[in-house]
Structure 1
């Protein structure tokens, strides 16, 4: 867990690292999951492509929020780091291209679970995962320290609120599960403690169970907490 202190009024960007790690876990798992689909197993193929679609939508929402609410502030207030910001934007474009290719391959794969399409999709997903890893590592190493210096806590909060507003209401608890699963106990307690009481209750009473069911469908294993 991040133990560094952030200056008063400045954002604590560790929540983005937690979100990045969730994307890392699941995008890195997808190539192997897809490669293991038996020829003709359309049901399994469709389940994984549905998961890919939601992951891709979540990633697009995350990057669009940065494009609209983070990069313009950094370009205005940290002009010395403009080259870094432009590099991040270029990486977003490359990630979007790979995501679109994965969606096209996935749509074809879901129709018949053809092994040649499966292998092509798995290769695309490996390239996407590698590119995403590179991008997030650079963002965490170079961009988040700049964010903590030039953005306010309220501006950072607006970025998170934008993501929640655009997330389908009936999927929020499941998405929360995919973020919470795999984090440390301390991080999990911190995330839950910052949520409104009704949301915490909904997670404990319903969300955790619904998420576990979906996790088993995708990974053929129980989530580890």
Structure 2
């Protein structure tokens, strides 16, 4: 009997997602520093790059707030203060993303935009490191529990 392979650690996926978001933010920062136009016209590469990055980070946090965090809260009630802090960070980061979007849309001074991106990067790094350190093991335990349930269900239904 073969059980479907679902053994990828979710904490590793989380870390990879965080690294990809860091890289996208760094690329956005480098694009601003390269001296390209900041802001409109609406078709500018920087505007598209910024919108893509902001949307990706927002989707990541929305998924955590709506799916991962409630599951962790149910399975690991002792993590409630940590989850509350992470959700609070999501609100702070969302505000920074709005500010970056406003600066890009308003053709802001590149130095001002780089300053905002640097602040966003610092907060993201702190948030990501805290999240990985504080909930990584719980995410993997949650994933292991779900794998066990899937394997048991698979075994009882005959695959």
TM-score (norm 2): 0.77
TM superposition shift of 1:9: 6.9
Whether contact under 8 Å (2:54, 2:97) holds in the other structure is yes
Q: Which runs of 5+ in 2 are unaligned?
A: 148-159
How far apart, CA to CA, are the structure 2 residues paired with 1:40 and 1:63? 26
TM superposition shift of 1:12: 1.2
TM superposition shift of 1:11: 5.8
Asked if 1:131 corresponds to 2:128, the answer is: no
1:65 to 48, 63, 74: 63
How far apart, CA to CA, are the structure 2 residues paired with 1:51 and 1:41? 11
Matches within 5 A, 1:108-147: 108-109=106-107, 117-147=109-139
TM superposition shift of 1:124: 0.7
1:77 maps to 75
1:172 maps to none
2:90 maps to 92
Q: Which has the higher contact order (CA 8 A, sep 6+)?
A: 2
TM superposition shift of 1:153: 4.2
Q: Which runs of 5+ in 1 are unaligned?
A: 1-7, 110-115, 155-225
2:150 maps to none
Runs of 4 or more off by more than 4 Å in structure 1?
8-11, 38-43, 151-154
| Equivalences, count | 140
Q: Rg bigger for which structure?
A: 2
Whether contact under 8 Å (2:39, 2:46) holds in the other structure is no
Whether contact under 8 Å (1:102, 1:121) holds in the other structure is yes
What secondary structure is seen at the aligned counterpart in 2 of 1:85?
helix
